[in-house]
Chains A and B, each alone.
Chain A
Amino acid sequence: MISKKEFSEYAGSLSNLFESTGVLSVIPKAHCGYIEKELIAKDSEVKTIISERTDLIAKTLEGLASDLYLNDQISIANQYFDDAFICRRELVYRAGASTESLFLLAVDALGAGRSAELRLILDEFEISKPTLRENWPELIKESVLIAFLFVCRKKNGWNDITSAVEIIQELRKFQAEMETNYFETIADISLLGKFASASNLVALYNMAKIIDVTASYLINGSPADSFIKLRKHYDNAVEAIQKIGDASLEIIIDLLFVGSDSLLRNSIWFNTDTLGKEVRRLVQELTSSNNENPFIELWPSQQQALRSSLFDPAKKSVVLEMPTSAGKTLMAEFAIVQSRALNPDSVIVYVVPTRALVNQITLQLRRDLAALKIVVEAAVPVFELDPTEDELLRKSCDILVSTPEKIELLIRSKHPVVERLSLVIADEIHNIAMQGRGSVLELFLGTVAREKPTARFLLMSPFIPNAAQLGAWLGGDRTAPIKIQWKPSERITAAAFYVGRRPRSHIQLRMLPSAHNSTVKECIDVPIDSTIVEGSKTKSNVALSTAISLTANGGVLLLCGGRDSAVNKATKAIDYVPKIDSSPFLDICISYLKDEFGESHILPKILEHGVAFHHAGLSQESRYLIERLVSRGLIRLVCATTTLAQGVNFPIRSVVVEGVTRSTETTGHQKIPFNEFWNIAGRAGRAMKDHLGLIIFAARDNDDIKVYEEYLRGDASEVLSSILGDLLRIEEINEKFDLNFVAHYPSLARFFQYLLHAITISNYDSVVSEIDSILRSSLVYHQVGDVNSAHAKKLLQVARQYLQQVQKKAANKGFLELIDGTGFSSATVDYLFSQRDVFVNSDVWDQEKLFAKGNDTLTQMVAILSGIPELDLTRLGSGVLDVEAIANIIKDWVKGESVEEIADRYFSAFKDKDTRILRASQYIHAKLTGQLAWGMSALQKVSLFGQEDVKWESIGHTPSLMFYGVSSREAATLRMVGVPRMSANKLAEKFKSEISSKDTTFHDIRSWLDKVEPKEWGPAKSTLSGSQSKAIWKILNGDERSL
């Protein structure tokens, strides 16, 4: 009898044995062979030769790994199953597949935690139910293996699993007849021979039973003793087969057990059965057969997260580092449900970086949590709070989704919706290091940690090397960093370059080693099917050619160095990419974009070819639609800037990179930060859709390849407070905290807002006396304290100095709250206050007057706002900051003029119409809606500060009109729930007369809209029909069922 300890030693010794025998040298070759086969041009032959030893080595690995698995050495078994999987995969694709070889591949994949990839592979092979045949034992074995493959594939929801059950039922049906026939055929053999045949059947029947138990458990998570039953039938089968010494069948039995046991362990039931009643209710919903894509299993990443301290209520902060597409959102859903179960009356805040993500996450949570009657709402991700939205958010809300800026505003303004916070989920937490917005996120989290001591934190990111540090910042020693590296599909990095002289040149790929991908050491260069774009051999040209060439195998994201580059490449691409078949979804998106940009604009035109560009200059709606088109496979090539990293989470097969630098308006060319790069590149490879995710760097020559190799050697950098950067730059402590300071040290200026907020919560004296502890609750202090206490002292000194400067202001708490509520620095609010005289009359803010033609108040306001360092209004193209033109753009925008009209009117410096429209769009969406509306809101608050009888309900929504580009409060409300701009104006009157009241909730508005006939939606100044407009609203609300 071998003890557990001895077995563990044996398991550990295997790696040395593998090393000494050199067996595993076949693995990289098998890996290469497979990759080459996946990528290679149709008319080329794979050069990697399949080793004749591959099958034997796979068998060896499987035999030893199953023994390890059966003896609880699962993590070591996992490595060897992974190696076996690489061998089998190459064999299945290159040497042919049989039922048995697919079975072996399936078990290897399950043992290696590659269930997502397995389902994709099995989907490519025709697996048919077994046909009746004379040889009864053979039929049972074949049936068992096929049923197992169905259970693994899980195609079309529950269909495959039901098929597996049916196969076993068929065996039962024919058993009596087939058995009689079989015994007749062996009537003449000896008694011992008969006994052996009977033993064989006993083993096979138990194998069938293993399938039965597995499929039943996957369907409904019962019976509870399925694991015991599984083991019993396995033991029975082995015992029977050992009587007759059929080693080959015994190995199959061992592997069947490993595979079935893994399937049970992967099932959503097994992983959630101890998480409480509410989580189980959610699981019931997620697995429901009514669900189009029911959850049947959890990815290894999710299982690992669940096994870690994700749901430990004693942990104040949990930091979950998990790659893109590895299933973070489901983990967040479980955390939400668990938190709600523990604190039924509390509110959970879900913070994401962009409006598009607010939309996506809200829709997903609303859909998944609907049956649990959890109300999910989104706060409009802007810096101000519209009075209508304020009212609506005071109604029922269990989960609030928004950007850090908006949630911070709600916290600062002590909005009731964030009073009873029990859990803060912050996605993409690495953004805390981002210049500008990072400090908002940091200070928001720090504020919650200080002011809501019972709230817990779940921070999520694909890259966060210092997870423990971030967790400790918010949770002290009650933190749990969880690091997960599992990815749903394999990813490789390669350089693309031209080989040969034109016109006969082609593109070749050379694998590049990378810390974040499969390392492919021995691959030869692989020629791919190539489309070469005309022009000189620049990186840009190679990138576009490669991107176009790769579109044949799935979506491609071409990461461009800037907006113009993205537009130019997409425009050029359509000369080489044929039009795609039209589809209702594509058609409706094209109609919408035509309406937004004009009939003849390039964007809707290139969409007909399945090509798009994506950058910050597009409206949120346009970006969202493009992202949905990519997700639905209707866009083959999207030329994008790094803005996409902040977009909705859509994976894509290939990411082609023009270079590892980018140009910005302020800093010129700079290297793309490693974390930011991987946040985009990490999208390569779609779960259940792509075998390989490709990250391809365009190269002209070997020198370029060397640059990429060097870049890839880097690793994700620690997520550091963006405030730290400012602090380190301060040379003199005797800075004056004025507008100039805000312009130079924006993050530090925001940090001071944090101090001001602390004063509004308590009082000046206590903040001064507790400054140490207040600073301690900030990440920047946490990090400088860790690195160098001199920096900590410097921060303390700067903070004290700032407090001295605002000492006088502190006496006026109302004014402090005003500053706090604007989201701007105290210096900026001082500046606005000094300019407010003209605007103190609330009549000035009447929308009819303010936006009227000929009224120059708005021009004056824009002129004042242009002096705010936190805003960057930039120029319109003429070289001069034309405040009057900006004011007129605002008026036209509010009036409902189209982007095309605005472009023609104010951007005529750009001769090319497409460029003109894009510039106008960029200005409106990046500056006007993003910044001017915020500034205008602050100016309004400052101007009317201290006045009584201000009719906020009639003038408070003025900034929202600018943000949404509509002319009435009701239209702005409709825009909040996703109604397209032109239809919002059209429906506003109807809305006002039929439903708008104090008691109306977001849910009421959506229900009302759902019932409004399409013809009522038809915008007056629009090429969109009513039904198209309504369909767009539905898409923006996540309802794509009719398309």
Chain B
Amino acid sequence: MTFTIRKSFDQDGHLYRTYDWESVEGWQDRLANKLVPLIRELYSDFENLNKSCQETGLEGTQLEQFLETALKATIPKPREPESKTPKQFDVCRADLAELLALVCLDGLFATKVPVKNIYSRELNAATSRGLDILGYEKVGNDLSLIICEVKGSEDGNSPPSVVETGEDSLKQQLYSYVTRKEKTLDRILNISKRAPSIEDKKILAQIAMNWAQGAASSLKVIVCPFLVRKMDCYKDTDYGSFRTAPGYHAPAKIRFLIVCVNSDLNALAEHIYSKARSFGDK
């Protein structure tokens, strides 16, 4: 098992768990082997996009040229060490955290994530900005919707600022998914439409109906803050108010997962994305 549980503070149906990712020598390569195929699957080529732009028959648009430039970014480039962009805004670093969350939810909770997508965090006016992972768990007749938001942090403070400071924090984002019901519903319906199997479609349709029904439904909603932490930065208080005041996201239950890695996150992202961009590598 690549995860080892370090701490657990479960209470009143809310889960607060911290895991360590294995750190035996060569662990970065083993992690890369796991994640690179996923990365390549998620970042598809953009040539069709260019074609569809041409088919609108618009003349004199700058889009074509714009796309040409953008094509080079098929798989994002890790942040250069000397870059002025703040570390936490590095796309690869954010994506890495999201990929770890997918692996973790699948491995530990058998969460089904029918449609995996890596979303731009910098799209202007993107209406469904955020909401990193939407999945479900079905045990017998019990159906749970998993709404997962992912962050990585090497912040020495506890809880780190990404947990509950500002609009972009795990706390506020997850709160908005629970309260801005129509946007989350759009996402559920969109995933239902794109679901690869009938089983997934049915369950997601059921989730959509239950979500629309609100309190009257039997759907269990779980908000899942997922934090990737540098091992030596972790503290038991990293859960912040998710643990001290869980009612904030009610009626949703909380499943706060922290995965600690024995590396600087940007360095780990650089390692893995370099491999992903190097097409010779398997």
Contacts and interface: CB of A to CB of B under 8 A. Distances in A.
A244 B120 contact: yes
Main secondary structure of the interface of B (DSSP, over half): helix
Interface in B59-90: 60-63, 66-67, 69-70, 72-73, 76, 85
Contact of A199 (B44, B49, B194, B208): B49
B209 A60 contact: yes
B190 A195 contact: no
A59 interface: yes
Contacts of B72: 191
Given A17-B205, A64-B189, A197 B123 contact: yes
A17 B185 contact: no
Contacts of A667: none
Nearest to B89: A190
B104 to A, nearest CB: 21
A205 B183 CA distance: 23
Given A22-B216, A195-B46, A245-B119, A56 B181 contact: yes
Contacts of B169: none
B126 A196 contact: yes
A887 B182 CA distance: 81
Interface stretch (A120-128, A178-186, A460-468): A178-186
Main secondary structure of the interface of A (DSSP, over half): helix
Contact of A137 (B125, B196, B205, B216): B125
Contacts of A63: 185-186, 189-190, 192-193, 208
B192 A205 contact: no
Contacts of A201: 63
Interface of A: 1-2, 6-7, 9-10, 13-14, 17-18, 21-23, 52-53, 55-57, 59-60, 63-64, 66-67, 70, 135, 137-138, 172, 175-176, 179-180, 183, 186, 189-202, 205-206, 208-209, 232-233, 235-237, 239-240, 242-251, 254
B182 A56 contact: yes
A57 B52 contact: no
Nearest to A185: B124
Interface in B180-238: 181-183, 185-187, 189-194, 196-198, 201-202, 205-206, 208-214, 216-217
Interface of B: 44, 46, 48-49, 52-53, 55-58, 60-63, 66-67, 69-70, 72-73, 76, 85, 91, 117, 119-120, 122-128, 181-183, 185-187, 189-194, 196-198, 201-202, 205-206, 208-214, 216-217
B262 to A, nearest CB: 28
Contact of B201 (A10, A209, A242): A10
B201 A21 contact: no
Contacts, number: 195
B125 A138 contact: yes
22 contacts: A23-B212, A52-B214, A56-B214, A59-B186, A63-B186, A175-B61, A176-B60, A179-B63, A191-B69, A193-B122, A195-B67, A196-B123, A200-B126, A202-B53, A232-B55, A236-B52, A237-B52, A239-B49, A242-B194, A243-B44, A248-B183, A251-B190
A254 B189 CA distance: 11
B187 A247 contact: yes
Contact of B213 (A10, A23, A239): A23
A196 B216 contact: no
A247 B73 contact: no
Contacts of B91: 190, 192
B183 A198 contact: no
B260 to A, nearest CB: 28
Nearest to A70: B193
Contacts of B211: 56, 60
B56 A196 contact: no
Given A21-B217, A202-B52, A206-B56, A13 B202 contact: yes
Contacts of B208: 60, 63-64
Given A137-B124, A236-B56, A245-B117, 13 more contacts: A17-B202, A21-B209, A53-B212, A64-B205, A64-B208, A172-B58, A186-B124, A189-B122, A200-B125, A246-B128, A247-B127, A247-B190, A251-B190
B112 to A, nearest CB: 16
A199 B206 CA distance: 31
Contact of B52 (A55, A60, A189, A240): A240
Nearest to B210: A21
Contact of B76 (A1, A17, A192, A199): A192
Most buried by A among B70, B181, B187, B209: B209
A191 B120 CA distance: 10
B73 A191 contact: yes
Contacts of A251: 186, 189-190
A247 B186 CA distance: 6
Nearest to A207: B56
Contacts of A172: 58
* Nearest 7 pairs of A and B residues by beta carbon: A63-B189, A193-B122, A236-B52, A247-B190, A195-B70, A196-B123, A56-B212
B70 A194 contact: yes
A249 B66 contact: no
Nearest to B125: A137
A2 B52 contact: no
A52 B215 CA distance: 11
A59 B49 contact: no
A251 B191 CA distance: 11
A205 B201 contact: no
Contacts of B190: 63, 247, 250-251
A15 to B, nearest CB: 11
Contacts of A192: 70, 73, 76, 91, 120, 122
Contacts of A209: 56-57
B67 A198 contact: yes
A248 B128 contact: yes
Contacts of B189: 59-60, 63-64, 67, 247, 251
A197 to B, nearest CB: 6
Contact of B206 (A17, A175, A176, A190): A17
A385 B49 CA distance: 75
Contacts of B183: 247-248
A202 B61 CA distance: 11
Contact of A59 (B191, B198, B212, B217): B212
Contacts of B205: 10, 14, 17, 64
A210 B73 CA distance: 29
Given A193-B123, A196-B126, A180 B62 contact: yes
A17 B123 contact: no
Nearest to A3: B198
A1 B205 CA distance: 18
Contacts of B61: 175-176, 179
A55 B210 CA distance: 14
A90 to B, nearest CB: 15
A138 B125 CA distance: 9
Nearest to A208: B56
B119 A191 contact: no
Nearest to A9: B198
B74 to A, nearest CB: 9
A30 to B, nearest CB: 13
Given A198-B70, A209-B57, A246 B123 contact: yes
Nearest to A250: B190
Contacts of A183: 62, 66
A853 to B, nearest CB: 85
A630 B57 CA distance: 51
B10 to A, nearest CB: 30
Given A6-B198, A53-B213, A176-B60, A59 B182 contact: yes
Contacts of A254: 193
Contacts of B46: 195, 243
Contacts of B67: 195, 198
B122 A205 contact: no
B127 A200 contact: no
A14 to B, nearest CB: 6
B131 to A, nearest CB: 9
Most buried by A among B48, B190, B206, B217: B190
A2 B202 contact: no
